[in-house]
Structure 1
Amino acid sequence: MTPSRRVSLPWFANPAARLWTCAPAPADVQVFHAGLAGYAPTPLTELHALAAELGVGRVYVKDESSRLGLPAFKALGASWAIHRALSRRPAGARVRLVTATDGNHGRAVARTARLLGHRADVFVPDGVHEAAIDAIIAEGARVSRVRGTYDEAVRRAAETSAADPGAVLVQDTAWPGYEQIPAWIVEGYSTLFAEIDAQLSGVGPPGLVVVPAGVGSLAQAAVTHYRGHPPATAPALLAVEPGTAACVQASLVAGRPVGVATGVTIMAGLNCGSVSSLAWPVLRDGLDAAVAVTDADSAAAARDLAAFGVSSGPCGAASLAGVRAALTGDGATGRRTALAVGRHTTVVLLSTEGAAANPYTFDATP
């Protein structure tokens, strides 16, 4: 694997990614989710104007603005991982679910804890919107604010959980020695991609799937799903990060996991400085490309999606910002070639959160 030549924006490509294969997620994940109260597949919305803008055949947006009663996709991973973790505990025992979050994951853990009659402690770093914190508290969780980055909040959550035999750490990133629950969380995300398969059954598989990447767990789920299929049907997979927190791209360029110093970004859920140890080898081998975008890119994409009738927060809108950066502008011909994108390609954008999940006010002017 060799990084592509740097062009006019932060970019990395792996030409061998679509040849790599792996085992798919277990099928019983979808059965579990289908049995939850309020479960329904989220919409896959076709946007013809974006297809014309990007010079492709079709563009679909997977709209995660309402998933199991929450405004983001995270409930899929949290519910499955907590179900698996509690199945190993004595029946009826109350536990303390502990996690760190940039917003959406913590609320999903808190909601699941409340529904199951357990306690939840959520550690929140600097930079998380007050409305997102209030939403976690409204689920009955105890919130601890951490002066520092997301990585520092994860460290605090892990230390707190380790000191309490009745606690279970439900973290959506992995490190050596802590990988089982993050693996279940990634498995939980597989339902999202199974829904896309069913929703595109009359159209055919996508040629490009674009996914926001924070620590890389959702991108890992995307790679696992699409590389678990025969290579002939495998789409290109593009990860999108904030330019101020591009830990996945930095690791791909270096050929090893590297941490980055994070800054301030409206893409709060992607403001992560370290790639998950569980995700890293999967992304290294199975991800076609990674691109970094600015807050202005994300804000413009969120405004445009809203105009098309899709509610999307800055993290969800990162997918549109990223595909625009990859397929248009200076150097686009080479990037389109790397992604095997042509005028008949079907593109799927994952909009991972609705506007209510991260309620920043976007300037109405471009």
Structure 2
Amino acid sequence: MTQFIHLNPPAREWSRHESGAATDTSAVLAFHKTIPDYNETKLHSLPDLAAELGLGHVLLKDESNRFGLPAFKILGASWAVYRAVGSHLGLPAAAAESGDDVPPFAEVGARARGAGVRVVTLTEGNCGRAVARMATGHMGVPTRVYVPGFMDEATRDRIRGEGAEVVAVDGSYDDIIPVALREARAEENSILVMDVGVEGCDEAVPRYFVEGYGTMFAESDRQTLDLTGGKPATHAVVPVGAGSVGEAVTAHYKSSGRKKESGSTTILAVEPTTAACLFQSLKAGQSVSVPTGDTIMCGMNCGTLSTSAWPVLRDGVDAGVAVTDREAHDAVQDLKARGILAGPCGAATLAALRRACKDTRQELGLDESSVVVLYCTEGQREYPIPS
């Protein structure tokens, strides 16, 4: 056993999540297909890596170009902004959920501008840019994005390039949350759009983010069967920051409907060693906050889990894996050699798989029959090379 892997006891009471944990991926996919430049991202098959690790299949869902952005976040952000603005304007939720008679972006945006709506969000990079692309770029709604003071100017400029106002706040991601909350509450027509649930706040918007990621699963489930000759995923590896995409992956693969069709899937959740709040929470049996340090996996540099994500992760994740910056960087290079341009957050899933195959292969059922899907959530970007 290793200090960097925590094996979570088997899911205890997953049935309590069945009423709302899994997403109707077909409705969300239909919604995303109405957005200009919708593209299905590739699921790469890596047979040489599978042979090296003694696995049946290693597949990588490549989110390096989703709607022209270098990360998966636009899937959740588009659905969340559209639903949050629509709800604020009193548009019927049922239409958005079913995909029937959904008002176009231009119409919703025009009504929002007429009502003086403004979107407020917070980010360490990809999420804020995605929210701004949807709110300002597609709907013409002003967006203010709060960022940590240590964020580099290049990242800030990319967010500004989407038409958003960027406000830097001293401290970590967790320190920004109360600032954004106060801002959103101070003005009647400000809508807070963030992908984490916090105590005392409506969890509807974080839930929209989780639902939005359903398109990724609708695609990858079909692609997996195509690439394996009809074999579904036995293992899924997902990066975890505050928890929204981890929640989405867990809810999807652990849903009873999917289990009946495809069998059980083991979930591995990966975090930086410098910000392993899920890892520590699983060990403690309760959600705990941890101090964070600098990491090249900046999109996962979160010290506190989303309140809406924690129960799902607690009851559904099979193993928490913490990886170092060096391991993530090596995985970036490993994928680059195979023609896949990933960022450290996305490549961390490969680092986690390598560690699991080395240290907990038997415990996690990793063998020559395994079909492993790595969710590579981020495309190539600059970062300081770790020593």
TM-score by length of 2: 0.87
Could you tell which deviates more after superposition, 87-96 or 71-80? 87-96
Query: Is residue 2:255 matched to residue 1:230?
Result: no
CA offsets per residue over residues 332-362 of structure 1, 9 Å max, x none?
Answer: 2xx2223221112111111100014xx2254
Distance 1:19 1:122 in 2: 38
Mapped contact 2:349–2:374 kept (Cα < 8 A) = yes
- Per-residue deviation, 1:15: 3.9
Q: What displacement does 1:234 show?
A: 2.2
Partner of 2:224: 200
Deviation of 1:148 (Å): 0.4
Structure 1 residues 73-222: aligned runs within 5 Å? 73-90=72-89, 92-94=111-113, 95-114=117-136, 115-178=138-201, 179-202=203-226, 203=228, 204-222=231-249
TM superposition shift of 1:254: 0.7
Aligned pair partner of 2:23 in 22, 25, 37: 25
Q: Structure 2 counterpart of 1:225, which letter? A: H
Secondary structure, counterpart of 1:265 in structure 2: coil
- Cα distance between partner residues in 1 of 2:148 and 2:283: 27
Q: Distance in 2 between matches of 1:322 and 1:11?
A: 9
Deviation at 1:18, TM superposition (A): 8.9
Question: 2:97 is matched with which residue?
Answer: none
Q: Secondary structure at the match of 1:237?
A: strand
The structural deviation recorded for 1:176 is 2.5
Hey, what's the Cα distance between the residues in 2 that align with 1:180 and 1:118?
A: 20
Letter of the 1:195 counterpart: E
Alpha-carbon distance, 1:19 to partner? 8.1
8 Å contact kept, 1:99–1:154: no
Q: Which runs of 5+ in 2 are unaligned?
A: 90-107
Unaligned runs of 5+ in 1: 1-6
2:6 aligned residue? 12
Q: Distance in 2 between matches of 1:361 and 1:354?
A: 16
C-alpha contact (below 8 Å) 1:128/1:268 kept by paired residues: no
Q: Following TM superposition, by how much is the alpha carbon of 1:8 offset from its aligned partner in structure 2, in angstroms? A: 2.6
Letter in 2 for 1:205: P
Letter in 2 for 1:9: Q
Q: Percent identity?
A: 46
The number of aligned residues is 351
Aligned counterpart in structure 1 of residue 276 of structure 2, from 246, 271, 279: 246
CA contact (8 A) 2:119 2:144 kept: yes
In structure 1, the partner of 2:103 is none
Give SS of 1:205's match. Answer: coil
User: Which position in structure 2 is the counterpart of 1:3?
Assistant: none
1:123 aligns to what SS in structure 2? strand
Partner of 1:59: 58
> Is contact 1:59-1:349 (8 Å) kept?
yes
The corresponding residue for 1:71 is 70
Q: Deviation of residue 130 (structure 1)? A: 2.8
CA-to-aligned-CA distance 1:156-187 (integer Å, 9 cap, x gap): 11111111111111111101232110001110
Does residue 261 of the first structure (1) align with residue 306 of the second (2)? Answer: no
SS of corresponding position for 1:336: coil
TM-score relative to the length of structure 1: 0.92
Counterpart of 1:360 in structure 2 is: 383
Report if the CA contact (8 A) 2:150-2:170 is conserved: no
2:316 to 271, 286, 293: 286
Contact 1:123-1:153 at 8 Å conserved across structures: yes
> Shift in Å at residue 16 of structure 1?
1.4
Partner of 2:362: 337
SS of the residue 1:93 aligns to: helix
Question: How far 1:132 moved relative to its partner?
Answer: 1.7
Q: Indicate the residue corresponding to 2:46 in structure 1.
A: 47
> Partner residue of 1:4?
none
User: Separation in 2 of the partners of 1:9 and 1:200?
Assistant: 32
CA contact (8 A) 2:76 2:210 kept: yes
Letter matched to residue 294 of structure 1: T
In the TM superposition, residue 49 of structure 1 has moved relative to its aligned partner by: 2.0
Q: What are the Cα deviations for residues 90-141 of structure 1, in whole angstroms up to 9, with x where unaligned?
A: 3512221111101000000111112110011111114434322110011111
Residues in 1 aligned to 2:311 and 2:305: alpha-carbon distance in whole angstroms: 10
For the Cα contact (< 8 Å) 2:251–2:312, is it kept in 1?
A: yes
Query: Residues 277 and 290 of structure 2 are in contact (CA less than 8 Å); yes or no, is this contact kept in structure 1?
Result: yes
Kindly provide the CA deviation profile for residues 314-336 of structure 1, in whole angstroms up to 9, marking residues without a partner as x.
Answer: 111110111111111xxx2xx22
* C-alpha distance 9-52 of structure 1, shift in aligned 2 (>3 A): farther
Instruction: State how far apart, in whole Å, the 2-side matches of 1:338 and 1:195 are.
Output: 29
Contact residue 45 and residue 59 of structure 2 kept, 8 A: yes
Q: Distance in 2 between matches of 1:50 and 1:287?
A: 24
